[in-house]
Amino acid sequence: MNFYKKDLIKMKRCYTVEPVQIDKKDGFIFASDGENGEGVALLGDNFEEKEELWNDAGGCMSIKQIPGKQNEFLAIHEFYLKKSPSLSKIVWIKKKDNTWIKKDLIHFPFIHRMDIVEINNIKFVIFATISHFKKNKEDWELPGAVYAFKLPNNYFEDFYINPKLIFEGLYKNHGYFNNGKGQLYFSGVQGIVELNLTNSYLENWETTNIYNRPTSDMLLYDLDKDGKNELVKIDDFHGNAVRILKKNKQNEYVEQYIYSNGAEIIHGLSVIEIGETPVVIVSARKGTAELIAIQYADGEYVKEVIDSGFGPINVTTANFEDKIYIGVANHTTDKATIYKLIDS
């Protein structure tokens, strides 16, 4: 695979990247996890149209476009592992009269992952905390938890948010994956928990432990096209290996492939179909600092290095008008970058 690379902007501690649509234009939002950071959208055919959503808030762990809304987003702000008590919150960002405005939606300690799902025309915000409380960065005495609440209908209405606890007890609650089919996955020290969004009644949502080894991030996808999902997981917490596992006849996950290669702090995972072939994109922040692609071909998993040495921490993938893009937040080198597939 050959990619055209374009560094879009310089951004200190570039951390979060998300595909979006603003004013009917496709693009990516990039945001910083540093204090007093920024959130910037790059749009249009060459990603040269810039929209600054904010420039006064850091600690952005996640950005999600509100379903059905062109110019409205939720984002996590002010998440810092080193700060206690935690200042983290979810903010609601909206474009009004060509100006981006924002308001706090909910304050809650150590919000690390966040998503918006729609069930029976009701929008729910689901968020995961990495811990209930931390005395310092290295304190992992208390586990994290997952909460949910209904998103208010209107940005401008008054509201009071009282989130419902969905489940707790997952230590170093770090990873998150939405399969788009009503199942959400959360990972930590004890492994991976599947949350089944049974219906629009939160009390009916069901959890199942599907894997019991320490996991940082993960995704589930049918990579070999046999009708069954493989599990792609990063070891431990900010670990140094990615594994692809497949269930055997005993319903146990068995390793099919491992990637390490001197990478450190492997952090980002995404998957996209190129033609009819699923391709996993992996980013490693340190060590080789590689951006790689893994696909199943001719009975085995094959790795290609897309780039190296730039410290990508998070990645996402998008298909804009039948063109394949990878959005990359290069944390170590402070660059917001895209890669466009030009030859598969």
Q: CA 219 to CA 206: how far, in whole Å?
A: 19
What is residue 202's three-state secondary structure? helix
Structure tokens at 54: 């904010």
What DSSP designation does 204 have? G
pLDDT at 343: 82
Q: For tokens 């931390």, name the residue.
A: 134
Distances (CA, A) of 46 to 17, 50, 79, 121, 312: 17, 11, 31, 35, 21
Q: Quickly count helices (H) and strands (E) in the chain.
A: 0, 28
pLDDT at 344: 66
Strands 206-211 and 191-196: antiparallel
Quickly list DSSP for 22-42.
ETTEEEEEEEE-STT--EEEE
Q: List the domain boundaries for the chain.
A: 61-207
- For residue 196, the one-letter residue type is N
Q: Which CATH number fits domain 61-207: 1.25.10.10, 2.40.160.20, 1.10.580.10, 2.120.10.30?
A: 2.120.10.30
* CA angle, 76 then 63 then 38, to 5°: 75
pLDDT at 45: 87
Quickly list DSSP for 72-108.
EEEEEE---TT-SS---EEEEEEEETTEEEEEEEEE-
Q: CA 128 to CA 110: how far, in whole Å?
A: 8
Q: Counting Cβ atoms within 10 Å, is residue 1 exposed (0-12), middle (13-18) or buried (19+)?
A: middle
Q: What is the pLDDT along the chain (344 residues), one digit of tens a residue?
A: 899 999 999 999 999 999 999 999 999 999 999 999 999 999 998 999 999 999 999 999 999 999 999 899 999 999 999 989 999 999 999 999 999 999 999 999 999 999 999 999 999 999 999 999 999 999 999 999 999 999 999 999 999 999 999 999 999 999 999 999 999 999 999 999 999 999 999 999 999 999 999 999 999 999 999 999 999 999 999 999 999 999 999 999 999 999 998 999 999 999 999 999 999 999 999 999 999 999 999 999 999 999 999 999 999 999 999 999 999 999 999 999 999 999 86
Q: How many other CB atoms are found less than 10 A from the CB of residue 21?
A: 15
- Length of the chain counted residue by residue: 344
Whether the CB-CB separation of 74 and 89 falls below 8 Å is answered with no
Q: CA 105 to CA 121: how far, in whole Å?
A: 20
Q: What does pTM read for this prediction?
A: 0.96
Structure tokens at 108: 């809650």
